[in-house]
Structure 1
């Protein structure tokens, strides 16, 4: 999930707890028992260690129908819109689901990937890297 750092709630939380390295602080200026428990969802110290929520929930996409390919963090530690930022900037289909892409044969992926212009060679190399990550992914289809 992308965090709206300009959103009202994010600004309220920063005002209350502080921000360190682009992330909300665990301790902050006035820590509460509630905030300490919430912070454990992402990791015990909030500094790179992943918490139980991210480890056990974030990677479960089932059939992929409700998981956005580019925007959700479903394969790896960051969403594809961050890992493959240039491809995301160029795609016309920013809201396709994982199921949209992975439900068809990999040879036909080009049908779903629509670009604003022809990709340059280094962008083609990024696309090849992205495709390589997807070759071993299997979705759980509903029966």
Structure 2
């Protein structure tokens, strides 16, 4: 009913059963269903599993609903929410379109103190890459399923406390991608944390300065090097902007892989997106090694250009129906993947 709210069968059910959930004359069946899914501490499972996927932002409350990350912004930034003059605003009402594009526009009931100013910077960094999609309605994503689709099986496993074993399916998907085997093998090592980062080498008794060679501010673990390093984040940000997708991705390898470009929806397009993910992993590792062993600089723009070329060359060589030029691929990757 969330995903097909305007269809005839949804309107029929609401007309028959939904007569105000809190009113005594509401259907017992409807009240029991509401209680099961929303009305008690144990009944929060559906709310926790269903997240909003933003289109134009016309139906999603900016502060209350979980539309970016795993928590609502009013929970993450409570001091800002308390002084917001836009507590009930939808996402699309929190900014304006201009000739320069989309920009956020916050209003406060009182001047911000120092703590709130710092939180505002964090909030702006979190949402800076998000842009509403004009003409695209908001929808829902079922988080327990890797493709965002609700199923009775995933709901049962969530309710029973079972954790779906994604490993086999994830690696089966990885090895089915249209990319060179050495690139897939490197990604496989990243996913199982067997890549030779400084942290992993230290664990094996090879004593090194464990600082990340790119940012020099954190230890070089697998997840940091490939997903959370601020230098590497610029590459992922460029990839998202290239595909026109803006979301907050997990900082762990398996979560990042499974949710990469997830908003695109179609499995066929997502498989092409995962080839791009492989290319990013390969290029980051090559760039890191150039810094460590050849004393070169890590250039996010150059890495991004190389990712585009690598992914295109792999698809060109591995997929018969991929007949697009490099210019077409760089100009509109989604359209190229739809034609595969």
Instruction: Report the TM-score when normalising by structure 2.
Output: 0.26
Coordinate RMSD, CA, aligned: 3.1
Question: How far does the alpha carbon of each residue in 1:77-115 deviate from its partner, in whole angstroms, 9 at most, with x for none?
Answer: 111111111111111211111112244443xx3xx4222
Q: Which structure is richer in relative contact order (CA contacts within 8 A, separation 6 or more)?
A: 1
- Of the candidates 42, 67, 86, which is equivalent to residue 24 of structure 1? 42
Contact 1:92 1:116 in 2 (8 A): yes
Q: Distance in 2 between matches of 1:72 and 1:137?
A: 16
Q: Per-residue deviation at 1:130?
A: 0.4
In structure 2, the partner of 1:60 is 53
Q: 1:98 to 1:13 in 2, by over 3 A?
A: closer
Q: Distance in 1 between matches of 2:106 and 2:128?
A: 16
Following TM superposition, the consecutive aligned residue runs of length 4 or more in structure 1 with deviations greater than 4 angstroms are 7-10
In structure 2, the partner of 1:117 is 110
Contact 1:13 1:24 in 2 (8 A): no
Secondary structure of the 1:127 match is helix
In structure 1, the partner of 2:73 is 80
Secondary structure of the 2:124 match is helix
Secondary structure of the 2:92 match is helix
Contact 2:52 2:60 in 1 (8 A): no
Q: Per-residue deviation at 1:71?
A: 1.2
Q: 1:122 to 1:140 in 2, by over 3 A?
A: same
Q: Distance in 1 between matches of 2:123 and 2:106?
A: 12
Contact 2:53 2:67 in 1 (8 A): yes
Greater per-residue helix proportion: 2
**How many equivalent pairs are there?**
100
In structure 2, the partner of 1:96 is 89
Question: Any gaps of 5 or more consecutive residues in structure 2?
Answer: 1-20, 23-30, 137-340
Contact 2:84 2:108 in 1 (8 A): yes
Q: Per-residue deviation at 1:119?
A: 0.6
Instruction: Report the TM-score when normalising by structure 1.
Output: 0.57
Secondary structure of the 2:53 match is coil
Q: 1:13 to 1:64 in 2, by over 3 A?
A: closer
Q: Distance in 2 between matches of 1:65 and 1:79?
A: 17
Q: Distance in 2 between matches of 1:60 and 1:99?
A: 13
Question: Any gaps of 5 or more consecutive residues in structure 1?
Answer: 1-6, 27-38, 43-49
